[in-house]
Amino acid sequence: MNKRTSAILGIFVIILCLSLDSGLYATVMLFGSDTDTQELFIIDTTDAGTTKVGSFEVEGVMAGLAYDANNDIMYGTTTRTDKLYSIDYTTGNAALIGDLGASFMHGLAYDNSADILFGTYGSSEGDGLYQIDVSTGNSTLIGNIGHFYEDHLNTVSGLAVHPLTNDLYGIIGGPDNVSALVKIDKTTGSGTFLYEYSIPNLEGLTFLQDGTLYATDNWSGNLYLLDILSDSTQLMGDTGLGNALGLTSVPEPATIMLMGLGGLIVIRRRKCAKFRLCLF
CA distances from 268 to 2, 14, 117, 139, 277 (A): 14, 13, 46, 54, 9
User: What pLDDT is stored for residue 200 in this prediction?
Assistant: 83
pLDDT digits (tens, 9 = 90+) for 217-236: 988 999 999 999 999 999 99
pTM of the model: 0.80
Q: Which residues contact 63 (CB under 8 A, 6 or more apart)?
A: 33, 35, 77, 78, 79, 105, 106, 108, 157, 245, 246
Distance between CA atoms of residues 128 and 38, nearest Å? 26
pLDDT digits (tens, 9 = 90+) for 3-43: 444 444 444 444 344 434 444 335 789 999 998 999 999 99
Distance between CA atoms of residues 265 and 7, nearest Å? 9
Distance between CA atoms of residues 207 and 83, nearest Å? 24
Q: Calculate the CA 88 to chain-centre distance.
A: 15
Q: Which CATH class is domain 21-252?
A: mainly beta
CB atoms within 10 A of CB 119: 26
Domain ranges of the chain: 3-18+258-275, 21-252
Q: Calculate the CA 53 to chain-centre distance.
A: 17
pLDDT digits (tens, 9 = 90+) for 64-118: 999 999 999 999 999 889 999 999 999 999 999 999 998 888 899 999 999 999 9
- DSSP-derived 3-state class of residue 264: helix
Q: For 97-106, 171-180, 239-248, which range has the lowest pLDDT when averaged over its residues?
A: 171-180
Judge contact between 246 and 33, C-beta under 8 A: yes
- Beta-bridged to residue 214, according to DSSP, are 206, 225
User: What pLDDT is stored for residue 24 in this prediction?
Assistant: 37
User: What pLDDT is stored for residue 9 in this prediction?
Assistant: 47
